[in-house]
Structure formats: C-alpha cells, structure tokens
C-alpha cells in the first residue's frame, strides 16, 4: 500500500486565508488516484505521482476563484508538508495529517 493512501485533513495557507481541504488518496492495481474536497466541491487530482515519500499532483479549482494548482509535498508517516503554486502567484504552504483508521 502507498505511503499516501488514506484520508487527509490538509491546510493550505493562501494569500486570501487558510483553506481546510479533505484529500482522499487510493491505490488500485498499482495506480494512485485522488480527490480534494472543499466544502461541497470535490475535484479529481491529475498527474498524481509518488516517488519515495514525495508526492506531486495537479488540480483545477473554481472556488474561491478559477485556478490551476501544482502540489509538491513530502509524506512522513501520518503527516505531510510542502507547497502548492498557482501559476506566477506565490507558493502556498501545505500541511496535513492522515485520519486514523481510514486507509
């Protein structure tokens, strides 16, 4: 099973404030899949890749504004940390913890 698999409570510290996002990562037949949910809006992750403990992915969001985001995080047990970037905007810090019992 992937070091990323599970449900994660993630905080993204953006220039407009912190966002609390729920990420779900699954593995099926060796392929990683994921989704992100903010309030009632769920999006699928694109180009999800895991190299050792480093995970990268892309996602498009429409709220609070339309953006294409690139993520780069490192998983350490039940914690992850890294950043996201939307085009030329400054990087946003990303941190999260895995929910226990939900793999």
* pLDDT tens series, the chain, 103 aa: 578 999 999 999 988 889 999 999 998 888 899 999 998 889 999 999 999 999 999 999 877 678 899 999 999 999 999 999 988 888 999 999 999 865 4
Query: Which tokens go with 58?
Result: 């892309």
Q: Domain residues of the chain, as ranges?
A: 6-98
Neighbouring residues of 48: CB distance < 8 A, sequence distance ≥ 6: 25, 32, 33, 34, 55, 56, 57
The CATH code of the domain at 6-98 is 2.40.128.120
């Amino acid at each position: 099973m992937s070091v990323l698999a599970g449900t994660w409570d993630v905080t993204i510290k953006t220039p407009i404030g912190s966002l609390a996002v729920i990420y779900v990562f699954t593995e099926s037949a060796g392929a990683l899949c994921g989704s992100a949910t903010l309030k009632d809006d769920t999006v699928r992750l694109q180009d999800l890749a895991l190299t050792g403990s480093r995970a990268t992915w892309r996602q498009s969001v429409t709220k609070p504004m339309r953006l294409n985001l690139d993520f780069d995080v490192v998983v350490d047990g039940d914690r992850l940390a890294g950043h996201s970037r939307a085009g030329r905007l400054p990087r946003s810090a990303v941190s999260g913890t895995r929910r226990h019992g939900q793999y």
